[in-house]
Amino acid sequence: MSPPPMRFKPDWPAARERLAALWEGRPLDRPCIAVTAPSGQDVHWPGPPAGPEQRWMDPAWVVPHALACMQSTWWGGEAIPSYLLMAGWVFCLGGDVRFDDNTIWHERRPLDFDRPPRFPFDPADPWVQRHDALYTALAAAAGEGDFLLGGPLLLPANDLLAMQMGTEHFLLALADRGEWMADAIVEGARCQIAARRHCRNLVAARHAYWYGNAGWMPFWAPQPFHQAQSDVSCMISPDMFDRFILPELALYADQLGPLWYHLDGGNACQHLPRLLSLPYLRVVQYTPAPGEPPNGPDHLALYRQIQAAGKIVHVSVPKQHVEALLNSLDGALLLLETGCDSIAEAESLLARLSM
């Protein structure tokens, strides 16, 4: 059965084939490159939201804004029309959320170390129900496959607990309450897995592109996969990473599929050798920390280390670095994202890369 077309990307069948080849390690005539540019279309934008909670949670504002964002963008090469739903951050292991104009935060809360950790997923939770209403509204707007809906944006348990406890208290608890914290992270991961399955059941029967990364570093593969990270790992040792983070990653891989991993900054690279040894890790996305050079030639050694382990490198780069990276890396294990100022400039870049 042929995949449904994408409303905002007429050449989706070709892009889909390239992304499938990337996932399977099959080289094609050129590497995968996602190029976006302003579409130049006359777009009707919704008025400003009444406040940050409406900005992130109200279907009446978010869905028109998502459609306007996609219509205002030209999606070239392997760029995938999609929209970032930050609302998934309200899945927070029973914690409390608050909103600002830029993100969703989690309130600090104490944890009871004298009781076993327990983080049950509750579909009746009011925040879960509000997320469900938004997620299904965007799925309805996407129809069978007008754009990549993607999986909900859920934080992993390790980063979520670090945010709710406060980083200092989280790190001290790893040292002082190690057994409890190891159990808590795995228990939290089970809760997030239940939440992700709950969301899948809401939309998978009627939407072809219900999994994948949407909005930020969009990624699609011919099989379901899971987006993973551990931003807090930049502050722990490799031994602690093995003890506290790897069990969560293994659980996600066992229950949700291979991993696409967000590696956050140079201090997290101490864990890269361990990550690259994991058979279920398929993609590494690198985001340089503040003060580091942007993705590009300065990080070639890192990209080559990832590719030498047979993993895909997925990075966003300035347009002036695209051709240098393509000439220096294995194109069968590479997805570059970049932006151009016009469709003509983007088409010219893609044409040069296809020669």
d(CA 187, CA 93): 10
- Domains belonging to the chain, first-starting first, are 12-353 (3.20.20.210)
Bridge partners, residue 337, by sequence: 34, 316
Q: Name the 3-class secondary structure at 147.
A: coil
Residue 355: predicted pLDDT:
63
Residue 208: CB partners within 8 Å, gap ≥ 6? 3, 4, 144, 145
For 132-145, write each residue's pLDDT tens digit: 999 999 999 999 99
Residue 5: predicted pLDDT:
85
Q: What percent of the chain has pLDDT over 90?
A: 95
Angle of the 157-165 helix axis to the 167-176 helix axis, nearest 10: 110
d(CA 18, CA 347): 17
d(CA 218, CA 322): 18
CA atoms within 13 A on the CB side of 16: 18
For 51-90, write each residue's pLDDT tens digit: 999 999 999 999 999 999 999 999 999 999 999 999 999 9
25, pLDDT greater than 80: yes
Q: Report the b/e string of 14-26 with b at 16+ CB within 10 A.
A: ebbebbeebbeee
Residue 354: predicted pLDDT:
79
Residue 75: CB partners within 8 Å, gap ≥ 6? 8, 9, 34, 36, 81
Q: How far is CA 338 from CA 23, 37, 57, 205, in A?
A: 20, 9, 29, 33
Q: Nearest to residue 99, comparing CAs of 133, 127, 66, 136?
A: 127
Q: Name the one residue in this structure whose structure tokens are 């804004």.
A: 65
Q: Is the pTM of this model over 0.85?
A: yes
For 219-266, write each residue's pLDDT tens digit: 999 999 999 999 999 999 999 999 999 999 999 999 999 999 999 999
CA 52-56-57 angle, 5° bins? 110
Residue 194: CB partners within 8 Å, gap ≥ 6? 121
Q: Report the b/e string of 99-121 with b at 16+ CB within 10 A.
A: beeeebbbeeeebeeeeebebeb
Cβ(37)–Cβ(346) under 8 Å? yes
